[in-house]
Amino acid sequence: MIKVIKYIFLFATILFLSSCGTREYLGFEKKKTSLKGNRVSILKEEATNNSTEKKSSTEIILEDAITLSNWPQSYNSPSHLSFNYISDSKFLNFKHLVSGASERKSSKILSQPVIYNDLIFFLDAKSNVIAFSLKNNKIIWKKNISVKNEKNHNIGGGIVIYKDSLIINSPYGQIISLGTLKGEINWEINVDSSIRSAPTIFENKLLSLTVSNKLYVLNADDGSLLWQHQGILNNTTLIDSPKVAVDENIVIVPYSNGEFFALNLNNGKEIWRNSFIDIEVKETTNAFSDIDAFPIIKKDIVIITSAIGKLFAVNKKTGSKLWIRDISSTQTPLVNGNSIFIVNRNEEIICLNILDGGTRWALTIDDRLSDYRRYIWLSPVLINSKLLLVGGNKKLILIDPYTGVINNIKNIPNFPASSPIIVNSIPYLMLRNGDIVKIE
């Protein structure tokens, strides 16, 4: 009996000494101070406003539809403004054109193809750059840009056309200029880390943003460094990476830590800075503050969104906030005319008034179309004054932009890697299995 009592006493003593409060009390550990502020979830799901809370009854005005003969860079514009494209497509069939390497667990396709002089260029999931003739229906050249002994980091990268050159941001930390006709190397430079997004071209300046939040601005003719800008490194980021926007003499740089800057295009001098990081997020490290969507510039308004759950409109010249909405998206909004069309939380598409952020309509997307939000919806495009949305569980949706009513739903052969591009009235779509298809 005495032995039992001893064991009970010994057990109680160990339990007493091992408890957090007791160890602090006896001086074995320093007392832990609780962080102030509210705790937030890793994806910051605390939306305080419903997407339809702020209303706008203003008329929706779209720009006239146009036809383009080339698509030189992602979103076809350094400002990422969306055009209203003319197309002859009936959206009935998907004709296979060419195939590259398919995505795997360690490889992702994150950028759009580009088209120049009837050649379509794309970067596949094994870092192969492929040039395909739309006239002759054949591959004219193919070049692998992976680094020797390092062939398992094929996440992202992107391409842009400059004069007769194709310039590539490589996931292996290089920027490479190739000739468009033969794929010969014009110049190449090494940078400090991987690049997952496409470059932005404006006049003769090439702007590339690395995953370490460093912006390189190069002379596109010879690859010489003009200036660079360093943001704060963010250790918790999503897989995508944004592309910088340029308009007039102002560069809008979105960094993955939630900060965004306006810089002088000529010398990189800071004009203003702003941030998505609010008080709650500053007091916890468990939140993704990533800016993965591209910023959009329309005249003096900059539209920028973050995975943290905020959509901002700020003045391009001063950085002052014009309005804020509790809308979360990793996809670049479509800005055309006086409207913003944005995918919110991968569950609805919303039409907003660009001047005050008021909601004109909100369309909840049937969860069954995305296998209950398992698969993402990509950025919408505007074709023949209709919204075209791809993504979900291999779906294409046509939506009336004036009412938010779905007009048509079609199945896609595979999951899309990027939003469609439209050249000479024909929509082309890059798929995650490495295929490029023409939408007929």
Residue 136 domain flag: yes
CATH number for the domain harbouring residue 133: 2.130.10.10
> DSSP state, 391?
E
pLDDT of 280 over the 50 cut: no
Q: How many domains does the chain have?
A: 1
Residue 176 domain flag: yes
CA distance 175 to 172: 9
29-66 pLDDT per residue, tens: 444 444 344 433 333 333 334 544 789 989 999 999 99
Residue 14 domain flag: no
Least confident window among 2-6, 20-24, 160-164, 269-273: 20-24
pLDDT for 52 equals 45
Query: Which long-range contacts does 203-206 make (Cβ < 8 Å, 24+ apart)?
Result: 204/162, 205/246, 205/265, 206/160, 206/162, 206/167, 206/175
pLDDT for 221 equals 98
At residue 308 the predicted structure's pLDDT band, cuts being 50, 70 and 90, is: confident
**Structural domain range at position 362:** 41-439
pLDDT for 430 equals 97
CA geometry: angle 353, 357, 358, nearest 5 deg: 70
For residues 89-112, give the mean pLDDT: 93
pLDDT for 155 equals 85
pLDDT for 147 equals 85
Least confident window among 66-75, 149-158, 388-397: 149-158
H or E element, residue 328: none
pLDDT of 166 over the 60 cut: yes
Average pLDDT in the chain: 86
Between residues 258 and 143, the one the model is more confident about: 143
pLDDT of 101 over the 50 cut: yes
Q: How many CB atoms lie within 10 A of CB 35?
A: 10
For residues 328-335, give the mean pLDDT: 94
175-202 pLDDT per residue, tens: 999 999 999 999 999 999 899 899 999 9
Which residues 6+ apart lie within 8 Å of 390 measured at CB?
A: 377, 378, 396, 397, 412, 416, 419, 420, 429
CA distance 406 to 325: 24
CA distances to 61, 69, 164, 392 from 66, rounded to whole Å, are: 15, 10, 24, 28
For residues 397-417, give the mean pLDDT: 97
Strand 259-264 versus strand 128-133 pairing type: unpaired
For residues 395-403, give the mean pLDDT: 98
pLDDT for 290 equals 66
The number of angstroms, rounded, from the C-alpha of 242 to the middle of its chain's C-alpha atoms is: 5
Q: For residue 103, give both structure tokens.
A: 């995505």
Residue 411 domain flag: yes
Residue 9 domain flag: no
Q: Look up the pTM and report it.
A: 0.85
Residue 4 domain flag: no
339-355 pLDDT per residue, tens: 999 999 999 999 999 99
CA distance 329 to 345: 6
pLDDT of 9 over the 80 cut: no
Residue 23 domain flag: no
pLDDT for 148 equals 79
229-257 pLDDT per residue, tens: 999 876 545 556 789 999 999 999 999 88
Percentage of the chain surpassing pLDDT 70?
82
H or E element, residue 282: helix 279-282
Residue 33 domain flag: no
pLDDT for 90 equals 96
pLDDT for 21 equals 42
367-377 pLDDT per residue, tens: 999 988 899 99
